[in-house]
């Protein structure tokens, strides 16, 4: 019986390997479709709109899966996509496995609230005190008598890690609700009563009428000297992507692509770097 089980497991592993290898071959041969694993934040802030425009211009379809930054990169490593995007730097182990990142733009990391809390400006220290559970009511900040409900995206999301690094200086966060991904945090803020607070890349909420971004020390995310931001990256395997992926990346850095980035409150790469 043990021998049969062993043979069954071996056969199953072989089937999986064949499927993975054949899938990788199919990706390499098809030049009319791009398999793209996209960061949730980047999809919402940029590629949700850009993909339609790209397909209309180039006639190349984009099969997109929206994931966390970590998952998007992992899918690229596994050969399940030809292009990934992330809101974090690649880890050394990723680079050792042949991945290369291409910066797209800067995306200010915004503190967001549901309209109606009565506060428009916070200091960095006040942000830290809110997210560490020291300040629990908006009236402590000159706002309305409302409990502060802290909503954060999951610990493994790039938004969480970037917020913890830039705003919290790696201090612990005390929260009321944790969402599965970063963009779900925005939806949760929208659907809860006034008093909610969270954080997300500015591009994800630039055109959302129900969300207010808070000034930090008098500066809004769209101000040129706002100090808290993420960098969006495309990630490819090897030194050069295939022709379809090259066109997709080039479209992002075209005049139309740069205009879309700016319209969504983000800062494009300088032309000298393209």
CA–chain centroid gap for 105, Å, is: 12
Of 26, 4, 46, whose CA–CA distance to 249 is shortest? 46
pLDDT tens profile 209-263: 888 999 999 999 989 899 999 999 999 998 889 999 999 999 999 999 999 999 9
pLDDT tens profile 174-198: 999 999 888 899 899 988 878 999 9
pLDDT band at 27 (very low <50, low <70, confident <90, very high): low
Q: Where are the domains of the chain?
A: 29-106+231-273, 108-216
CATH topology for the 108-216 domain: D-Maltodextrin-Binding Protein; domain 2 (3.40.190)
- Which residues neighbour 50 within 8 Å (Cβ) at sequence distance 6 or greater? 251, 252, 257, 260
pTM to 2 decimals?
0.79
| pLDDT number for residue 156 | 87
Classified as helix, coil or strand, 223 is coil
Pick the CATH number of 29-106+231-273 from 3.60.70.12, 3.40.50.300, 3.30.390.50, 3.40.190.10: 3.40.190.10
The two domains 29-106+231-273 and 108-216 share their CATH topology (first three levels equal): yes
| pLDDT number for residue 19 | 42
| pLDDT number for residue 1 | 44
Classified as helix, coil or strand, 237 is strand
| pLDDT number for residue 273 | 56
- Which residues neighbour 47 within 8 Å (Cβ) at sequence distance 6 or greater? 36, 38, 64, 85
């Amino acid at each position: 019986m043990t021998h049969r089980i062993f043979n069954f497991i071996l056969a199953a592993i072989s089937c999986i390997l064949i499927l993975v290898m054949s899938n990788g071959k199919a990706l390499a041969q098809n030049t009319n479709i791009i398999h793209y694993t996209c960061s949730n934040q980047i999809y919402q802030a940029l590629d949700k709109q850009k993909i339609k425009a790209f397909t209309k211009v180039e006639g190349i379809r984009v099969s997109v899966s929206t994931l966390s930054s970590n998952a998007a990169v992992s899918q690229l490593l596994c050969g399940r996509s030809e292009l990934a995007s992330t809101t974090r730097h690649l880890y050394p182990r990723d680079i050792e496995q042949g991945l290369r990142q291409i910066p797209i733009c800067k995306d200010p990391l915004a503190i967001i609230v549901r309209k109606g809390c009565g506060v428009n400006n916070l200091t960095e220290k006040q942000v830290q005190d809110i997210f560490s559970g020291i300040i629990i009511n908006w009236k402590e900040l000159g706002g309305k008598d409302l409990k502060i409900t802290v909503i954060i995206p999951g610990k493994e999301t790039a938004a969480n890690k970037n917020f913890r690094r830039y705003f919290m200086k790696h201090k612990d966060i005390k929260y009321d609700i944790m969402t599965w991904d970063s963009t779900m945090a925005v939806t949760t803020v929208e659907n809860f009563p006034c008093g909610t607070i969270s954080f997300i890349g500015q591009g994800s909420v630039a055109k959302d009428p129900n969300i207010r971004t808070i000034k930090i020390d008098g500066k809004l995310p769209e101000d040129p000297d706002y100090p808290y931001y993420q960098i969006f990256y495309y990630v490819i395997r090897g030194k050069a992507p295939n022709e379809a992926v090259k066109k997709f990346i080039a479209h992002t850095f075209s005049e139309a692509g740069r205009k879309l980035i700016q319209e969504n409150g983000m800062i494009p790469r300088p032309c000298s770097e393209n």
